[in-house]
Amino acid sequence: MTRLAVATARQMGLDHEFCETLRQAGLLHDIGKIGISSSILNKPGRLTPEEYEIIKSHPAMGRRILEPISFLREVVPIVYHHHERFDGEGYPEGLTGEEIPLASRVMAVADTYDAMTSDRAYRRGLSHDVAVAELDRCAGTQFDPECVRAFLAAHPEPNRKP
Ligand SMILES: [Fe+2]
């Protein structure tokens, strides 16, 4: 997912420093899931409201873990806001549009594509074409349409894992 996000940022013409911070944030974005039980993280069926609240705590937990590390200062807000939605329906703060850090908006697209196309213990991943159609459908609601456009331009082909 980090590779997908950085390729998207390059496509948008963002500079090396932006891409490097995005890369670090990509590697660390779900670090706050440390300590969440794997039975919740890997649960195949629907989460209970209580389980969903626990999952939703991971960006804030990630912030708490990373905050003391001074050289990751710029990574912290990107990690904290990686589950915001462009329409304001995300978490943890319900930010909208450009209130959300650009790197978090880029990451949301790459992360969702990666999640959709990855195999899970309980289901096969979706095809590239189906995942792309879903990104397209959610451009402007879940995602920044600029970021979706750049992601699609950077990834016309199915994602090949190295
Ligand atoms: Fe996450």
Where residue 151 falls (left for φ over 0; alpha for ψ -120 to 50; beta otherwise) is alpha
Look at residues 91, 7, 22, 10 and name the one whose alpha carbon lies nearest to residue 57.
91
Architecture label for domain 2-154? Orthogonal Bundle (1.10)
Q: Give me the residue spans of the domains in the chain.
A: 2-154
- Supply the pTM of this predicted model: 0.92
> Is residue 154 very low, low, confident or very high in pLDDT (cuts 50, 70, 90)?
very high
Distance 6 CA to ligand 1 centre (A): 17
Which residues are close to ligand 1, an ion, with C-beta < 5 A?
Answer: 30
Distance 84 CA to ligand 1 centre (A): 10
Distance 154 CA to ligand 1 centre (A): 22
Report pLDDT digits (tens) over 53-87: 999 999 999 999 999 999 999 999 999 999 999 99
pLDDT of 138 reads 98
Distance 21 CA to ligand 1 centre (A): 17
> Is residue 2 very low, low, confident or very high in pLDDT (cuts 50, 70, 90)?
very high
